[in-house]
């Protein structure tokens, strides 16, 4: 059994913090998607999670800088530290987009909107974010690759849905059209951040992002 290096304790703390960040980001996204499909108002809770994620991102960045300054980490450790900075930012953005979605859902008119176009895309994106978190925590290159492989599907669905909304524009409630369009855009960006987290995972393992 090898002895722990001083930096290992700091890396464990950083990984624990990243685990908490991932759990909060996933919770925020699940709640925001539920708010679209069920009309339950989660705005305040998701905003609180988003604010907490911003604070924790700063905490992760500060800890990462301390580890670099104190221990002059070797290449593999440095990759893990740099990736934590990147991934914590991406998860904070996921929290921000989740808050945006919850806010948009709250503004939907009383009669509601037809979110059929959002349902399939939201499920794919949620699974991508969850799998990106698992890939990062478990240093799972195969799962990271799998996350990236779904990005084309998201782009295709996004383009198809936008095309449909344009074609049906005159038949869709004018109060619903911008809401659906904005939510679709948020989901497309969320998929991008899941891919960036997958890139960070690949970088830890291989030294390359792809």
pLDDT in tens, 178-199: 888 999 999 999 999 999 999 9
Among 150, 19, 179, smallest CA distance to 91 is for: 19
- Identify the band that residue 1 occupies on the pLDDT scale cut at 50, 70 and 90: low
- Identify the band that residue 208 occupies on the pLDDT scale cut at 50, 70 and 90: very high
Residues 138, 201: Cα–Cα separation, whole Å: 9
> What pTM was computed for the model?
0.94
Residues 195, 201: Cα–Cα separation, whole Å: 10
Tokens read off for 191: 């998929």
For the chain, the straight-line distance linking the first and the last C-alpha, in angstroms and rounded, comes to 33
Residue 196 pLDDT: 98
- Identify the band that residue 110 occupies on the pLDDT scale cut at 50, 70 and 90: low
**Burial class (CB within 10 angstroms; exposed 0-12, middle 13-18, buried 19+) of 182:** middle
* Structural domains for the chain: 6-206 (1.20.58.220)
Q: Among 33-42, 119-128, 135-144, whose mean pLDDT is lowest?
A: 33-42
Cβ of 37: how many Cβ atoms within 10 Å? 13
Residues 101, 194: Cα–Cα separation, whole Å: 17
Residue 173 pLDDT: 75
């Amino acid at each position: 059994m090898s002895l722990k290096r001083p930096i290992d304790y700091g890396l464990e703390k950083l990984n624990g913090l990243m685990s908490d960040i991932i759990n909060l980001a996933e919770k925020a996204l699940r709640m925001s998607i539920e708010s679209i499909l069920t009309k339950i108002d989660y705005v305040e809770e998701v905003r609180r999670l988003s604010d907490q994620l911003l604070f924790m991102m700063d905490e992760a960045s500060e800890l990462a800088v301390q580890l670099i300054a104190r221990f002059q980490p070797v290449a593999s450790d440095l990759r893990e530290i740099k990736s934590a900075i990147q991934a914590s930012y991406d998860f904070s953005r996921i929290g921000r987009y989740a808050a945006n979605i919850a806010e948009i859902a709250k503004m939907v008119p009383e009669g509601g909107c037809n979110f059929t176009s959002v349902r399939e895309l939201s499920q794919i994106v949620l699974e991508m974010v969850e799998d990106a978190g698992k890939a990062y925590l478990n240093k799972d290159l195969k799962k990271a690759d799998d996350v990236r492989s779904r990005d084309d599907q998201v782009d295709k669905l996004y383009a198809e849905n936008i095309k449909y909304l344009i074609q049906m524009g005159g038949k869709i409630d004018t109060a619903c059209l911008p809401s659906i369009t904005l939510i679709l855009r948020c989901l497309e960006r969320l998929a991008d951040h899941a891919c960036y987290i997958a890139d960070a995972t690949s970088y830890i393992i291989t030294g390359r992002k792809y």
